[in-house]
Amino acid sequence: MIKILLFLTLIPVISFASENHKLTVVVTNFESEKGGHLIVAIHNTKSIFPSDWEKAFRKTNVEIDKNNSKTVVFEDLLVGKYAIIAIQDIDKDGKMSKNWIGFPREPFGTSNNPTFFGPPRYSKAEFELKSDQQLEVNLVSF
């Protein structure tokens, strides 16, 4: 009897912990005249942020049009900590192109829109998803 009561008291906790949420990401400040693709990746671990696109937790790739912003929606995300990176992949090669000293040649941005003094850092881009949420990521160019 005690085991049944314990199980019944845990049902709300179990269902809350596995609740899925929607994350809407609005990416702005494209160089729209250059076209290309918008790549938005969600990472849930700092070890591969920001460079390993293939191992990102979730990723989407959409065509850029003449608008200066694009909205992408990620469904079925669990409560947790994440970081987003977005790039305008002008040359459509699937990665961030860099110049000879390693500076990005394509516009990029991360969640929380930090000021960059070096490569993007997971700790600066990290946010906690607790419910359906909308974030804005502003792209910057060097």
Is pLDDT larger for residue 63 or for residue 67? 63
List, for residues 41-50, the tens digit of each pLDDT value: 999 999 988 8
pLDDT at 103: 86
Element (H, E) at 15: helix 2-17
pLDDT at 9: 52
Q: Which residues contact 1 (CB under 8 A, 6 or more apart)?
A: none
Residues in the chain: 142
pTM score = 0.83
Query: How many whole angstroms separate alpha carbon 52 and alpha carbon 108?
Result: 15
